[in-house]
Amino acid sequence: STVCVHGLGYIGLPTAAMLANYDHKVYGYDADPEVTEQLGNGEIHIDEPGLRAFVTQAINSGQLEITNEVVSAKYHIICVPTPFDEKEKEADLGYIEKAGEAIVPVLREGDTVILESTVPPGTTVEVLQPILESSDHSAGADFALVHCPETVLPGNIINELQQNNRIIGGVNGVSTQAAVRLYDSFVEGRIRTTSDATTAEFVKLIQNTFRDTNIALANEIARLSRDYGIDSREAIDLANEHPRVDILQPGPGVGGHCLPIDPWFLGQNSDELDLIANARKVNDGMIGYIVDILRDELGTLNGKKVAILGVAYKGNVGDTRMSPGLELARQLQGTTNEPVTIADGGEMDVDVSIHDPQVTDSTLNLESLEAVISDADAVVLMTDHDEFEDIEPSTLIHSMGDPIMVDTKGMLDVDEWNNSVVNLIRI
């Protein structure tokens, strides 16, 4: 079939290449001319393993064409961002509205429009459908309209695009089946359907909310463990021996562009967020907890140097969106008046330096590992990049006076570190 993919970001670009590599004729459209120009020059603007070769293959075969214009196609797949408006605590649906408006002039009878972007429940029917129907075609009757949420994990996108089970929810059965035919051509996982786009939207959000809430439980367990003087990770590992218990790992809070946001999307048109909202607070509160640990260990933060290792939002990616490492840097630096997490404001004059071997963002003042730990009073490990496994107690001992290492990801070997003079604190 012919497919027009709207939005060539983390989801749209791999999806466009996947469909093209499965012999569909694909037009990859992005509203940002910089993106289409870069792709036209063979440059991939997204950092994801294997993506460059995968996209190059699709373009070289002639099946994937990058375009500046929305073209008519049997299938339109919308993969545009849905940013979170921090102030309003709600989704900004502007890109979806624009994508819908761009489809209207090219929409024909028999076409299928698929929304993949993560959205608050009701968006497909209440926001996208009326825009598309301004074409005088009616959803479900003249064209198919479907929500099919993406579920791929950054770092493993190409594999998961193919292997993951998919949920497809159309505005009616005919719509759903039209989308199933397309996904069936490349998805090896199971395709489950519902004739209700809102259910599909809801399902995506409760998947990410499940993970966020489970991590919040792990984080609260970590805080409890510290009060009892036990190792949270050992306790969780042992608890997970039970056949019906599966607790995730504690850490410095939850980052990325999905997990910290989707729970709020879920509650956008409801007053029922309670446990879920508290889980969010627990996860966001981990940064303040780490600041408190540092203050306890160092006596004061005033005049201290703190080295942060890892400002990507998670291990082995270069993405810094909603990164716990950067949030820690912010809270340690100029945040004397931060009321939520830093109780004794006024004393914070901290020299913060950051190191991340996987982040390339030149707007950040990234330094080498040697530079950040040199004369540091404490080192805080904030992501589990593979590179950090090689850090040894001796590295710190040589460059720090009374070395303190806070391992928020539980990645360092406890026996090795406890046998050294380094004060290792694990979350």
Q: Give the footprint of ligand SAJ on this chain (CB under 6 A).
A: 118, 150-154, 207-208, 211, 215, 248-249, 251, 254-256, 258-259, 313-314
CB of 319 to ligand SAJ, least distance (A): 8
**How crowded is residue 397: how many other Cβ atoms within 10 Å of its Cβ?**
14
Nearest approach, Cβ of 415 to ligand SAJ (angstroms)? 23
For ligand SAJ, give the closer residue by CB, 63 or 383.
383
**C-alpha span between 91 and 97 (Å, rounded):** 12
DSSP 139: B
Nearer to ligand SAJ, 262 or 377 (CB): 262
- The residue among 16 and 248 lying less far from ligand SAJ, judged by its C-beta, is 248
- Cβ at position 173, least distance to ligand SAJ in Å: 26
Nearer to ligand SAJ, 144 or 287 (CB): 287
Strands of the sheet with 404-407, listed across from one edge: 351-355, 305-309, 378-381, 404-407, 423-426
252, two tokens: 């410095």
The pair phi, psi for residue 302, each rounded to 5°, is: -60, 125
Integer Cα distance of 339 and 318 in angstroms: 30
Closer Cβ to ligand SAJ, 254 or 311, answer by number: 254
**Catalytic residue status for 204:** yes
Least spacing, CB of residue 239 vs ligand SAJ, in Å: 14
What DSSP string describes 181-236? Answer: HHHTTT--S-EEEES-HHHHHHHHHHHHHHHHHHHHHHHHHHHHHHHHT--HHHHH
CA 94 centroid distance within chain:
20
Bridge partners, 84 (sequence order):
91
Contacts of 273 (CB under 8 A, 6+ apart): 263, 264, 266, 267
CB of 251 to ligand SAJ, least distance (A): 3
By beta-carbon proximity to ligand SAJ, the closer residue of 324 and 393 is 324
User: CA-CA distance, 330 to 340, in Å (whole number)?
Assistant: 14
What type of residue sits at position 392? E
Q: What is the dihedral of CA 362, 364, 368, 372, to 10 degrees?
A: 170
Say how far apart CA 116 and CA 113 lie, in whole Å. Answer: 10
| Residue of 74, 204, 305, 314 with catalytic role | 204
Q: Work out how close the CB of 137 gets to ligand SAJ at its nearest, in angstroms, rounded to a whole number.
A: 30
Q: Which residues, 6+ apart, have CB-to-CB distance to 17 below 8 Å?
A: 26, 51, 54, 55, 57, 58, 64
Among the options 4, 258, 305, 409, which is catalytic? 258
Q: Measured from the CB of residue 206, what is the shortest distance to ligand SAJ in angstroms?
A: 9
Query: 74 or 314: whose CB is closer to ligand SAJ?
Result: 314
How many residues are there in the chain?
427
Measured CA to CA, the distance from residue 77 to residue 124 in angstroms comes to: 13
Of the pair 249, 333, the CB lying nearest ligand SAJ is at 249
Handedness of CA 264, 120, 208, 12 (dihedral sign): negative
Q: Is 148 one of the catalytic residues?
A: no
141 CB-near residues (< 8 Å, 6+ apart): none
Beta carbon of residue 426, minimum distance to ligand SAJ (angstroms, whole number): 14
Q: List the catalytic residues.
A: 204, 258
